[in-house]
């Protein structure tokens, strides 16, 4: 990310005392960043500050070098696409999309021409004359996407854009977004790993109102340093202190192999491993160098031809993927005490945080 690219993009450097949020988020021009984090982490506060809906206690927002302090939402050249389409009910799809260009000074004819182009781009040109009440959820969200980009915003904010859609509709909308987001400056808030993988160049993880992890999308989701990134990536994560051979936590000691660059002995680190690497037994076993943990089963969840067994080792959640026959043979059910085994070669150890 070059300094010029950042200067031409978005910088949100804010502190909001009432929500205990202190964040510096940089998005380069033409970059899409996925903002991840648990509920209450501060994601909506960041979007609100960029959109002009939240006033920071300190700091501010710049877009393409323009400081936005005191600029009302409709003059920021920032578009916010929410979970619900929020289309104007009294306007047709065409006039909903034309609203942005028209507000920017375009003639009615030119604004409608732009709107028709974008309705075609998102695959609903034939619905131009319909009102929102005549559209399905997926159709309405396509129109909302067209309306957002037709206004030619310098920054596009997406707040869980697929959350309100049926599962069979979301993939098509995701594909639409992949097309229209290209070369735009975008921040997308999502809890869906596919949104991050398919749409975002980079991931930023918020927790407790602070950035706890950030980096290229595939790198973060394949070797997470934060509990939330591990959970959304479907991986197990045990935090602790690296002693050169294992990560030690008050509830667990996990043996693993240090990733490159290796964490420093005596400093905070995280052990990351897949649920498929976890073996479940009723009794403690032995064998190659591995971690053995006593756990309490909290849930048993069918997942196609496998079963996700969720457990807790003290306060640490650990998931294991096993066969249906193993569930029956081991009589696995919530409340059962089990032994988990993970080979050291299956565990990657990383420094606790990525700056």
User: Which one is predicted more confidently, 338 or 7?
Assistant: 338
Within 10 angstroms of residue 274's Cβ, the number of other Cβ atoms is: 17
pLDDT for the residue 162: 83
Instruction: Decide: residue 331, CB within 10 A, 0-12 exposed, 13-18 middle, 19+ buried.
Output: exposed
pLDDT on residue 284: 79
pLDDT-derived band at 6, boundaries 50, 70, 90:
low
Is a pLDDT exceeding 80 seen at residue 288?
no
What are the pLDDT digits (tens) for 70-88? 999 989 999 999 888 899 9
**What is residue 287's predicted lDDT score, i.e. its pLDDT?**
58
CA distances from 292 to 116, 228, 230 (A): 61, 24, 21
Q: Is the pLDDT at 37 greater than 70, yes or no?
A: yes
Question: How much is the average pLDDT of 125-140?
Answer: 95
- Average pLDDT over every residue of 287-315: 90
What value does the mean pLDDT take over residues 110-126? 94
Of the candidates 81, 23, 18, the one whose C-alpha atom is nearest the C-alpha of residue 205 is 23
The dihedral over CA atoms of 130, 133, 137, 139, expressed in degrees to the nearest 10, equals: 0
Q: What is the pTM of this model?
A: 0.82
Mean pLDDT of 117-123: 93
Q: What is the average pLDDT score of the chain?
A: 91
CA angle 15, 16, 17 (to 5 degrees): 110
The pLDDT confidence band at residue 126, using thresholds 50, 70 and 90, is very high
Predicted confidence band of residue 355 (pLDDT cuts 50, 70, 90):
very low
> pLDDT at position 4, please?
52
pLDDT(107) > 80: yes
Residue 78 CA: distances (Å) to CA of 5, 53, 155, 217? 18, 11, 5, 24
Residue 213 zone, left/alpha/beta (φ > 0; ψ -120 to 50; rest): beta
Q: Which of 181 and 57 is assigned the larger pLDDT? A: 57
Residue 150 DSSP label: H
């Amino acid at each position: 990310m070059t300094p010029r690219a950042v200067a031409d993009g978005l910088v949100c450097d804010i502190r909001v005392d009432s929500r205990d949020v202190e964040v510096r988020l940089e998005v380069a021009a033409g970059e899409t960043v996925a903002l991840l984090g648990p509920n209450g982490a501060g994601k909506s506060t960041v979007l609100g500050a960029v959109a002009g809906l939240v006033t920071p206690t300190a700091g501010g927002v710049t877009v393409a070098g323009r400081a936005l302090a005191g600029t009302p939402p409709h003059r920021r050249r920032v578009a916010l696409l929410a979970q619900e389409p929020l289309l104007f009910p009294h306007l047709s799809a065409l006039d909903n999309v034309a609203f942005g260009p028209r507000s920017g000074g375009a003639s009615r004819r030119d604004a409608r021409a732009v709107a028709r182009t974008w309705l075609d781009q998102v695959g609903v040109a034939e619905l131009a004359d319909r009102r929102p009440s005549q559209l399905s959820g997926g159709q309405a969200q396509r129109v909302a996407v067209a309306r957002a980009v037709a206004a030619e915003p310098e920054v596009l904010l997406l707040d869980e854009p697929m959350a309100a859609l049926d599962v069979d509709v979301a993939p098509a909308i995701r594909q639409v977004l992949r097309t229209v987001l290209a070369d735009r400056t975008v921040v997308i808030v999502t809890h869906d790993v596919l949104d991050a993988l398919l749409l975002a160049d980079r991931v930023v993880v918020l927790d407790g109102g602070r950035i706890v992890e950030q980096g290229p999308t595939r790198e973060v989701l394949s070797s997470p340093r934060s509990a939330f990134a591990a959970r959304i990536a479907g991986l197990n994560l045990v935090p602790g202190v690296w002693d050169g051979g294992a990560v030690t936590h008050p509830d667990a000691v996990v043996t693993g192999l240090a990733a490159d660059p290796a964490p420093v002995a005596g400093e905070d680190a995280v052990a990351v491993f897949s649920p498929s690497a976890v073996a479940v037994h009723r009794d403690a076993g032995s064998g190659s160098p591995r971690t053995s943990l006593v756990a309490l089963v909290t849930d048993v969840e069918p997942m196609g031809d496998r079963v996700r067994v969720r457990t807790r080792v003290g306060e640490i959640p650990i998931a294991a993927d096993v066969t249906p026959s193993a569930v029956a043979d081991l009589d696995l059910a919530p409340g059962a005490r089990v032994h988990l085994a993970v080979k050291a070669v299956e565990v990657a150890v990383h420094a606790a945080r990525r700056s």
